[in-house]
Structure 1
Amino acid sequence: MQEKPSTSRAPRSGGQEGNRGGGNAKRPPRKRSKKRALIWLFFVVLLGIVCAVVGYLLIILNGERILSQNLNKLNLDSASVIVDKNDKQVAKLYVSEGNREFVAINDIPKMVKDAFVATEDKRFYEHGGVDLFGIGRALVKDVVSRSAVEGASTITQQVAKNIFLNSDKTLFRKGTEASIALALERHKSKDEILELYLNRIYFGKGQYGIKTAAKYYFNKDITSKDPKQQLEPWEIATLAGIPKAPGTYNPISNPEKSKERRAVVLSLMQDQGLITAEQAEAAKKVDYNPDVVPKSKQQYQSYIDYVVDEAKAVTDLSEEELLSGGYTIKTTIDTKAQKAMEDVYKDDSNFEKSKDEIKIQSSMVIMDQHDGSLIAMIGGRDYEKQGWNRVTKQRQPGSSFKPISTYGPAIETGDYFPWSILRDDKTCYNDGKYCPTDSNKTKYIGPVAMTQAVKESRNQPAVWLLNQIGVKKGLDFASKLGIDLDSKQDRNLAIALGGLTHGASPLEMARAYSAFANGGTLMDPHSILSITNSRGEVVYEFSPPKAKRVMSPQTAYYVTQVLQGVTQTGGTGVRAQIPGRTVVGKTGTTQHGIKGLPVNAGGNRDVWFVGYTPELTAAVWVGYDNTDKNHLVQQSSGQAAALFSKVMSKALEGKKKQSFPKPEGVIDGKPLAAVTGLTAAYNPDTVSVSLNWSAPNAPEGTTFRVYRKSQADADFAKLAETADPAFDDLALLPDQTYTYYVTAYDPKSQQESEPSEQVTVKVVSGAETPSPSPSESPTPGGDTGQDGTGGTDEGGGGGGGGQESPSPSPSQSPSPSPSPSQSPSPSPSETPADNPSPSPSTKTAGTLPDSPEPSASASPSSSPSASPSSSSASDPEILPSSSPE
């Protein structure tokens, strides 16, 4: 019998027989793999340790080698120099003698040492030269912020960096610093390292070391035993805050930023128990007095400081590297013009006297409009003592801003010309909240040519014109000229008179005006042509950008025509004249804006003159750094114009006379003869008024514009335009009084003549009462100004005999348009798309949140009282400025 095969399974735990079955055959190789991995890991770790040791030894050896070769080497002997465009040396940026004094560590006050440790490296006495904990903390913060926001250099590393100063910012540089720091820690004690640091660190303004810095900024000798020479906590904190960014945190260049940095240092000192909370709070409130700084013997200090700032910006080098790196900086300075400027500013007779020891200040800059080169500047009187470059500080520009905000953009539209007739009426805007006026002897002369309005610096025509073209056009035009206004806070009619949120600097104003002088092309201002290092290699060379066309050549030419009258007899800037030279420009004045002080109390905040010749452009500002009731500018803007003349006459000596280019397509504005012999007669049968006049020497094609105002109207409006010297007014109402005047208009040149004499007709049932009123003619006459030259210095040259007209109603335009095809200004229902109706704003009386054209109010009241936060004008040219810098 055949035996059945067995169906029983072998036990899972079988011995060798089961293993042969193949189910568990791979287990031994797994054990071998783990062992192999451990062996590899051991060798990798061993290799890492070996590499680390070798790397550490290399770092140590490298640090030891560098330290042994250069321990006593300091990079202070290679001075950088400034030269003019002809390579003639103008200044040496750093001279070691007198700019650094060594002081032993034991002679440095303990609080000074502790303050620097607390600020720069609070674990200084714990680490061995490189703070690994600090590096880790900095890396975490950098990762969180996704940028390098915190450094981790110890005081020892900073000493290493300063000894081997260069501009290399690579990881290799950081590794070298670390290697030297470790070597320093092995060879020097902590006190010796701190001594090196405090004697080597740069404090800005060319000052090296704590002793020199204390003497320069506070006129104190830290080694003296005299209690009066001891540094106070706020002074120590100020010094300890400077090394982080010497050009930014020194109290002369940036007093506010220095004060902010001081507060940070004082908090660190309090945290370390160096001072109490009360001491810290008291020290945070102290204001720095720059008068303690000794006068510098360096010539042309304002210009030099500006050059250094520009060099830092274009090269990314630190101030210390620039001062002591052996660079040669070729500049655009004209030493003849610079010396002339400094000589004028040293003469106290050129400035009004203050009530106390605080001098009235001023700044000036001259620019070559053809290439943008800055040839001279001065940041203030006694600039070497204060170091506050007012050329770059913003102030309220007043009426000097009118060509930028109003007249320039209006002419650029093609609808307005120097001879265009504007309106000078007592008008309020924005529902009566903004009522500009001026200080002209004769106010509100009605129709007035643009040239006359600018010459006499009348305010209402400027505001009226900006209202016509729209505030947006003014903002856009200013932006093209390099002055970016606040699109929300400056969107109001106050900019017509220079009432700006942040103001404008003399440098910005000079650049903007240079575009008018340069035929509508804007150039970038610059003071540096090239920078070469100590090896003669060019590290920077100015490459002029493509010229920017910011307005048509015709607009630039017409603006220049308008501004020429300002410096002529009867103009507000007559004192800017230079014999034998063509000078154009604009004055500017701003009210004091002090709360509680009446507007008519006397004195202003700022006075300006910005002008140009065919060769050069310049801006002059005069005022006090901090305006209060005892520190107001008493004289008018004529003193700024006089400074312009005195400096520019010397700067232009020997320069070839040029002329402003006359572009194609411009029209020479030969004044049209005014209409004469206007008569009016009422005909009760036809219920009409017949007007007749004569027009001598009227060119072919001349038309006549008839303007009328009834007793119910706020102001004149254009009634008709006719080719005949006669017109019948049929649109009459009974028992009304109507006043008329007529102008001649030339369509070819788009010129409108001065208004004729006015005639008045009273319509009574079946009767007439015509009465010409020559005495009420809006045609202005001459007026003797403050300077005895025929015009007041601001708002000068007031016209004669103009009657004070009430404000226009919202439904009626205050003035005709210069365009023959343009109808009278629209009523509120016809407001242009660019000029929606305004809504009130709390910023200034004329603020329009998003509307460039406020509606006119019939309010005849004068403007509200001025305050620093208000721009409603009632001053010579503008309303209160912003708070001072």
Structure 2
Amino acid sequence: MGTYTSNRDSERQGSWPPTGSSHPADAQSRVDFVSSDRFDDTPDLALGYAPLATSGVRPNKDQKLDDDAKAIRRGRMGGGFRLMLFSSFATLLLIFMLPLALGLPGKVDPWSIRSIANGDVNVTFLDGNGDLLAHRGYRQEETVPLSEMPPYLVQAVLAMEDRRFYRHWGVDILGVLRAAQANFAAGGIVEGGSTITQQLARNLYLDGSRTFTRKAQEAALAFWLEQQLTKDEILELYLNRIYLGAGAYGVEAASKVYFSKSVRELTVSEAALIAGLPKAPAQLSPAKDLPRAQDRAALVLEKLEETGWMTAAEIEAARAAPAIVELEERSPDIRASYFVDWVYSRMPLFVDGPPRELVVETTFDPELQRMGEEALAATFDGLRSNAKVDQGALVALDHNGAVKAMVGGRDYLESQFNRATQAIRQPGSAFKPLVYMAALQNGYTPYSGIVDRPVRINGWKPLNANRRYSGWMQMRNAIAYSVNTIAVRVGHKVGLDKVADYARASGITTPLPAHPSLALGAMGTRLYELTGSYVPLANGGYEAPAYGITRISNVEGDVLYERARNIIGAMPPPYRENNSGQEQVDEDAVMTPILNKVATTRDVQTMTKMLKRVISIGTGRRASLGAREAAGKTGTTNDNRDALFVGYTADLVAGVWMGNDNNSEMDRVYGGTLPATTWANFMTAAHEGKPKRKIYTPIWVAPHPSQYKEPEPVVEEVPMVEAPAVPNYAALRGKLNGLSSALAAAVPLEAPEPVRTRSRGMDRSVFRSRDD
């Protein structure tokens, strides 16, 4: 263990003495360190003031007035100091007596406690490829020996948390007095008196309650820890277990989270940033507020300069290069944060029991996530200045409902609110495919004729987007041009209860009011649920609610939850045997589908043809993918408060929402403009290099062997050979000759005058100004 050299007339320099060994060989060196004039030369910060200068320079008038004010304040605080002195002696008595009264903790070995994150769950998330995606709950890395940590990191922690660490027995009476004086002068709690040993005892064995009993237990345990462990061991345990924000426990985990490197590689400024976190890790975390964390790191450097443990040149170099936390570039954690937050919140639905370390395998695709973020960012980068839109969201799912990408907003660091899963906004006309699906299930066809004209239901009168009416039209054109009055008529005639039933079956869980405006999407829903309701239209009519978790297991490999395989097909009845050991076949058994059918394949194929026209001739032309087949629907709510586009291909289903968090109006932003463009950009990138497939192609699913019935034995019979009958053509020839003579003798008919009739067609001119 090294010692510091002192020179009062020159810059001081030294190195951190701990070796990390459980019992240092050179005990005298520690005595030299803690009793050296390094502490005597620095201001007596433990008492909260610096000695007055006695160099012969007389203080000026202002200094004298300041000294008088301090003297008056000391006089007022005399009684307070006597009370604090009495409390200090009482605390010492408690330290020696409470271990006997309270007993030792259940786990006497501090090293046997795996984590100080009591009551939390440590979850490691893997993406769809099995690669590390993110951590949630607490994160704890390997234990790093004290001797391998940078000396300046240890110095910085001691300077901020417990400068007299090597000079007290677990409870620092001088530190308690200093904190009491500072709190009394400030009229509130501005400084704590807990030592590093007390903090370690609290984190290892106690909860976070602020009661006298808990403080007494903390003091007793701190004294007990000082008897069980050396100072170096206590400091090493503390640095490897203390919470440092962003779910990181210990300096190694914090270094990995904030700087993507081991604690052994930290610079002085990075070490100062980490050393400033223990006081309030949740508020000071650079993941939450980097400028505030940097200000705290500057304070750490000031404390280091006061102690003299580092030279002024080293401090200035650290100040000139403050630590930068590049969270967006360090790992896919930030990119996946919206998705991981959503999955983490749903975990209690699948596992319960005591806290544990878990591994969660997800459906997440990092490449699709990157493409979704880039598509949304490109839209906002090219936004016209007066568009008045500040937020957007995107969700992508496969045909089984697996969430592949989720962009919950423009910037996770600025706002953790997930607009794809938490925001409940109106879908507008993007809800109409569910209305028309209910119509197809109840006898309507794409060619059913409906009249586009003003309609009034119970005093409510909906209007079209362009305030015009086109008269009679087919239902396939009504959805292509997003005609409001026809959607309302169809929903009213089919029945709003049937519309709501299909919407719930397809994945909508938010309340669906029994009001005619339901047909226009005048209710709240979440983007990921709305996008998921289009999945049955893409996969043949099978139920496929959005999901993000495929398997949950513990660190030992035991599977706690696993999602069943979603196979388009049917599950055979259970295998049974009779008393003779032969298979017992139940002829009346019903084959159970693994995925429930919410619509017939014929109906969803018909709807897909209708939604293809939305992109080819209707309101969603900007969502065209060229030669690749795509179907989708635009949506715009009243006063342009929400704009959406949801669509699908043979490979992917995606939805885009744009709007403002305060629900304010946008300026000429419709579902067929910015959302459709964003959707097209994302889908084009996501399908790069993939074959251009039709959305519906014949798929044959091999049946289970138990579905085959053994054929009945065939008895071959030799048919009798009969002589073929001779056809009789004489009678037929006579009839034909008679018919020919009759036609030759007939008088020819005169052609009637042509009758001009008015075509019952649709006036397409009314759609020229329609956006949605």
TM-score by length of 2: 0.53
1:627 to 655, 658, 663: 663
| Structure 2 Cα separation of the partners of residues 61 and 444 of structure 1 | 84
Q: Measure how far apart 1:73 and its partner are.
A: 6.8
Q: Measure how far apart 1:317 and its partner are.
A: 10
Q: Is the 8 A contact 1:63 1:179 kept in 2?
A: no
Q: Measure how far apart 1:403 and its partner are.
A: 1.2
Q: Is the 8 A contact 1:302 1:389 kept in 2?
A: no
Q: Measure how far apart 1:634 and its partner are.
A: 3.8
Distance change in 2, residues 1:662/1:115 (3 Å): farther
Counterpart secondary structure, 1:184 = helix
Partner of 1:876: none
Q: Is the 8 A contact 1:475 1:485 kept in 2?
A: no
Q: Which has the higher contact order (CA 8 A, sep 6+)?
A: 1
1:494 partner letter: S
Partner of 2:465: 439
Residue-by-residue CA offset, 1:669-692 (whole Å, 9 max, x unaligned): xxxxxxxxxxxxxxxxxxxxxxxx
1:361 to 378, 391, 396: 391
Partner of 1:800: none
Partner of 2:712: none
| Structure 2 Cα separation of the partners of residues 84 and 307 of structure 1 | 10
2:607 partner letter: V
2:284 to 215, 223, 234: 215
Partner of 1:659: 694
| Structure 2 Cα separation of the partners of residues 336 and 326 of structure 1 | 28
| Structure 2 Cα separation of the partners of residues 499 and 537 of structure 1 | 46
| Structure 2 Cα separation of the partners of residues 618 and 524 of structure 1 | 14
1:310 and 2:288 correspond: no
| Structure 1 Cα separation of the partners of residues 327 and 415 of structure 2 | 9
2:762 to 760, 771, 779: 779
Partner of 1:335: 366
Residue-by-residue CA offset, 1:439-485 (whole Å, 9 max, x unaligned): 247x2222110111111111010001111112111111111112135
Partner of 1:84: 127
Partner of 2:411: 382
Residue-by-residue CA offset, 1:93-121 (whole Å, 9 max, x unaligned): 65879x99965277999699988999xxx
Q: Is the 8 A contact 2:379 2:674 kept in 1?
A: no
Q: Measure how far apart 1:650 and its partner are.
A: 1.3
Partner of 2:521: 498
| Structure 1 Cα separation of the partners of residues 623 and 463 of structure 2 | 25
Partner of 1:184: 221
Greater helix share, structure number: 2
1:104 to 161, 169, 189: 161
1:448 and 2:473 correspond: yes
Q: Is the 8 A contact 1:482 1:508 kept in 2?
A: yes
Partner of 2:271: none
Instruction: Tell me which moved more, 648-657 or 100-109.
Output: 100-109
Within a 5 Å distance, the mapping from 1:151-162 to structure 2 comes to: 159-160=204-205
Q: Measure how far apart 1:373 and its partner are.
A: 1.2
Q: Is the 8 A contact 2:531 2:655 kept in 1?
A: yes
Q: Is the 8 A contact 2:507 2:545 kept in 1?
A: no
Partner of 1:463: 488
| Structure 2 Cα separation of the partners of residues 456 and 377 of structure 1 | 29
2:542 to 518, 521, 546: 521
2:130 partner letter: D
1:608 to 635, 638, 644: 644
| Structure 2 Cα separation of the partners of residues 511 and 116 of structure 1 | 52
Q: Is the 8 A contact 1:624 1:633 kept in 2?
A: no
Counterpart secondary structure, 1:520 = coil
Partner of 1:642: 677
Q: Measure how far apart 1:622 and its partner are.
A: 0.7
Within a 5 Å distance, the mapping from 1:8-407 to structure 2 comes to: 60-61=103-104, 63=106, 65-67=108-110, 69=111, 81-91=124-134, 94=139, 103-104=160-161, 159-160=204-205, 184=221, 187=224, 200=242, 209-216=278-285, 217-218=288-289, 219-220=291-292, 296-297=328-329, 298-299=331-332, 301=334, 303-311=336-344, 313-314=346-347, 327-347=358-378, 352-354=383-385, 360-369=390-399, 371-392=400-421, 393-404=423-434, 406-407=435-436
2:653 partner letter: T
Distance change in 2, residues 1:447/1:202 (3 Å): farther
Distance change in 2, residues 1:474/1:179 (3 Å): farther
Partner of 2:771: 793
Distance change in 2, residues 1:486/1:784 (3 Å): closer
Q: Measure how far apart 1:539 and its partner are.
A: 4.0
Q: Measure how far apart 1:295 and its partner are.
A: 6.0
Distance change in 2, residues 1:548/1:348 (3 Å): same
Q: Measure how far apart 1:296 and its partner are.
A: 4.2
| Structure 1 Cα separation of the partners of residues 622 and 339 of structure 2 | 29
Counterpart secondary structure, 1:385 = coil
1:342 partner letter: E
| Structure 1 Cα separation of the partners of residues 349 and 215 of structure 2 | 23
Q: Measure how far apart 1:335 and its partner are.
A: 2.5
Q: Is the 8 A contact 1:478 1:485 kept in 2?
A: no
Q: Is the 8 A contact 2:338 2:412 kept in 1?
A: no
1:452 partner letter: N
Residue-by-residue CA offset, 1:113-145 (whole Å, 9 max, x unaligned): 988999xxxxx99xxx9xxxxxxxxxxxxxxxx
Gap regions ≥5 residues in structure 2: 1-98, 142-148, 163-174, 209-213, 227-233, 249-253, 255-276, 300-324, 567-593, 700-751
Counterpart secondary structure, 1:648 = helix
| Structure 1 Cα separation of the partners of residues 190 and 560 of structure 2 | 34
Q: Is the 8 A contact 2:183 2:191 kept in 1?
A: no
Distance change in 2, residues 1:660/1:318 (3 Å): closer
RMSD: 5.1
Residue-by-residue CA offset, 1:276-313 (whole Å, 9 max, x unaligned): xxxxxxxxxxxxxxxxx996444363534423542453
Counterpart secondary structure, 2:636 = strand
Q: Is the 8 A contact 1:314 1:540 kept in 2?
A: no
Distance change in 2, residues 1:515/1:110 (3 Å): farther
1:578 and 2:615 correspond: no
Q: Measure how far apart 1:528 and its partner are.
A: 2.4
1:511 and 2:536 correspond: no
Counterpart secondary structure, 1:383 = coil
Distance change in 2, residues 1:476/1:663 (3 Å): farther
Residue-by-residue CA offset, 1:4-62 (whole Å, 9 max, x unaligned): xxxxxxxxxxxxxxxxxxxxxxxxxxxxxxxxxxxxxxxxxxxxxxxxxxxx9999455
| Structure 1 Cα separation of the partners of residues 377 and 294 of structure 2 | 34
Counterpart secondary structure, 1:386 = coil
1:556 to 604, 612, 616: 604
Residue-by-residue CA offset, 1:170-201 (whole Å, 9 max, x unaligned): xxxxxxx9999796365479xx99x989x945
Q: Measure how far apart 1:65 and its partner are.
A: 2.0
Q: Is the 8 A contact 1:84 1:331 kept in 2?
A: yes
Partner of 2:590: none
Q: Is the 8 A contact 1:589 1:608 kept in 2?
A: yes
Counterpart secondary structure, 2:637 = strand
| Structure 2 Cα separation of the partners of residues 479 and 307 of structure 1 | 25
Gap regions ≥5 residues in structure 1: 1-55, 119-123, 130-153, 164-176, 228-292, 593-603, 665-725, 727-741, 743-755, 759-773, 787-791, 795-885
Q: Measure how far apart 1:508 and its partner are.
A: 0.5
1:104 partner letter: E
Distance change in 2, residues 1:783/1:427 (3 Å): closer
TM-score by length of 1: 0.47
- Percent of aligned positions that are identical: 25
2:493 partner letter: Q
Q: Measure how far apart 1:661 and its partner are.
A: 3.5
| Structure 1 Cα separation of the partners of residues 115 and 501 of structure 2 | 56
Distance change in 2, residues 1:312/1:389 (3 Å): closer
Counterpart secondary structure, 1:563 = helix
Within a 5 Å distance, the mapping from 1:624-773 to structure 2 comes to: 624-628=660-664, 632=667, 634=669, 637-661=672-696
| Structure 1 Cα separation of the partners of residues 510 and 106 of structure 2 | 54
Q: Measure how far apart 1:556 and its partner are.
A: 1.3
| Structure 1 Cα separation of the partners of residues 601 and 384 of structure 2 | 43
